[in-house]
Amino acid sequence: MSLIIKNGRVLNPPTNTDEILDIKIDGNIISAVEADIVPVFSDTVIDAKGCYVMPGLIDMHVHFRDPGQTAKEDIETGSRAAARGGVTTVLAMPNTKPVVDNPELVNYVHDKAESVGLTRVLQVGSVTKGMEGKELSDLKGMIDAGIPAISEDGKSVMDSGIYREAMKIVAAADVPVLAHCEDINLVQGGVMNMGAKSDSMGEKGISNAVENIIEVRDIMLAEETGATIHLCHCSTKESYDIVKEAKARGVKVSGEVCPHHFTLTEDDIVPGDGNYKMNPPVRTAEDRDFLRRGLAEGVFEVISTDHAPHTAEEKAKGFASPFGIVGLETSASLTYTELVLSGLITPLTMAAYMSSNPARILGRDDLGNIAPGKAADITIFDPSIEYEIHAADFVGKSKNMPFEGRKVQGKVVKTIFGGRVVYGN
């Protein structure tokens, strides 16, 4: 028995395809992509008329909090949230408790995700043991266990010598570095963007330099070692020039922007509402506009969520709460509304930024491509649906995000992972 998706507008960046086609899936592999596939009586048929049919979305930056903080999220609930958002592959950050700094914990996450079976969870390994910045993790052991990347996300490795040694090791294995860029010595208790808004709220601010200084350092280390570096959650106007100039020099660098950073500004912040506290913070309209410009021009080439769940009790503490919001269930709709409908990017570019480009950066040629022989991971997105975002509708554990009641256009209606429908009727 085959699964056939008919009449959809297939958006496949690797082949620059944007046309009405049918897709045939046998088992967990795409077997045909062509016009007018004729089903037989035993085939299951999905009519995708009026919908975008994209390679399964890949989110390069999520926190599933498993092991150790499963009151916030776990692999099963996080996978459900991913499937609802059209995401078939996620990269899980290692700042769990205990930190994922060894192959045993990598295997734990991979095995648990496989048993859940709703999305592909690729566990990222930490750069240093316990994320303490003092001694390298078992990088070679974790590479052998199948990590897709290394990261110290949640903080930066402030010891440049240790970081350089890590980059040398992973460069030899062609494993990328996911860089959280934050000069901890400049944060100084900041909880939101430094500027007029922080002054008016009486809160300590986080300047753009906190991010920019480490971006420049990390790019220089990657250039020296030959490592592939991916800058996580870029938020500043200066990031545009930093990444653009590094690419012009031939550095193997890419950058991601999160929906909250290309949508919100500090002027949207509601004083005392912890749902507006994230790291890096939402910044000025000028910063947001440079991020949008970078996405329009391809300077930034990935859209990720930094899905960072916390309990309602934690986020009820306002700007004394932990940094982080959730985003898996809203990212596709926000991207379509803010970037595609505004004309900044095309639907095909949306598919590239949310699927094909992450696959390329990770060296996964089996993913992000609707072509015969590739993984049968498909996201079906209906651009005609208009709805309001309400946290009560979320299937993940955490409901904390700053888009409550926001009207958006376009919605994921079906997610196919490994040839199986994991979300949608």
Task: Determine whether the annotation assigns residue 8 to a binding site.
Answer: no
**How buried is 18 (Cβ within 10 angstroms: 0-12 exposed, 13-18 middle, 19+ buried)?**
middle
Q: Is residue 93 a contact partner of residue 153, using CB atoms and an 8 Å limit?
A: yes
Task: Determine whether the annotation assigns residue 18 to a binding site.
Answer: no
Catalytic residue among 159, 306, 365, 377: 306
Task: Determine whether the annotation assigns residue 61 to a binding site.
Answer: yes
Query: What is the rounded CA–CA span in Å between residue 77 and residue 75?
Result: 6
Q: Which residue(s) pair with 74 in the sheet?
A: none
Task: Determine whether the annotation assigns residue 66 to a binding site.
Answer: no
Task: Determine whether the annotation assigns residue 64 to a binding site.
Answer: yes
Task: Determine whether the annotation assigns residue 230 to a binding site.
Answer: no
* Angle, helices 160-172/208-225, rounded to nearest 10 degrees: 50
What length does the chain have?
A: 425
Q: Which residue(s) pair with 54 in the sheet?
A: 379
Look up residue 148 and give its two tokens: 């897709």
Closest among 211, 266, 220 to 239, alpha carbons compared: 211
Q: Is residue 393 a contact partner of residue 404, using CB atoms and an 8 Å limit?
A: no
Name, in order, each residue with C-beta under 8 angstroms of 308's C-beta and a sequence gap of 6 or more: 63, 278, 323, 324, 325, 326
Query: What is the rounded CA–CA span in Å between residue 202 and residue 319?
Result: 11
Task: Determine whether the annotation assigns residue 417 to a binding site.
Answer: no
Task: Determine whether the annotation assigns residue 390 to a binding site.
Answer: no
43 is catalytic: no
Task: Determine whether the annotation assigns residue 65 to a binding site.
Answer: yes
Task: Determine whether the annotation assigns residue 268 to a binding site.
Answer: no
Look up residue 304 and give its two tokens: 């990720």
**How buried is 49 (Cβ within 10 angstroms: 0-12 exposed, 13-18 middle, 19+ buried)?**
exposed
**What secondary structure letter does DSSP report for 281?**
P
Task: Determine whether the annotation assigns residue 260 to a binding site.
Answer: no
Query: What is the rounded CA–CA span in Å between residue 59 and residue 53?
Result: 17
From the CB of residue 244, how many other CB atoms can be counted at a distance below 10 Å?
Answer: 16
**What secondary structure letter does DSSP report for 269?**
P
Q: Which residues are known binding-site members for Zn(2+)? A: 61, 63, 153, 180, 233, 306
Q: What residues act catalytically?
A: 306
Q: Which residues are known binding-site members for substrate? A: 63-65, 95, 279, 310, 323-324
Q: Which residues are known binding-site members? A: 61, 63-65, 95, 153, 180, 233, 279, 306, 310, 323-324
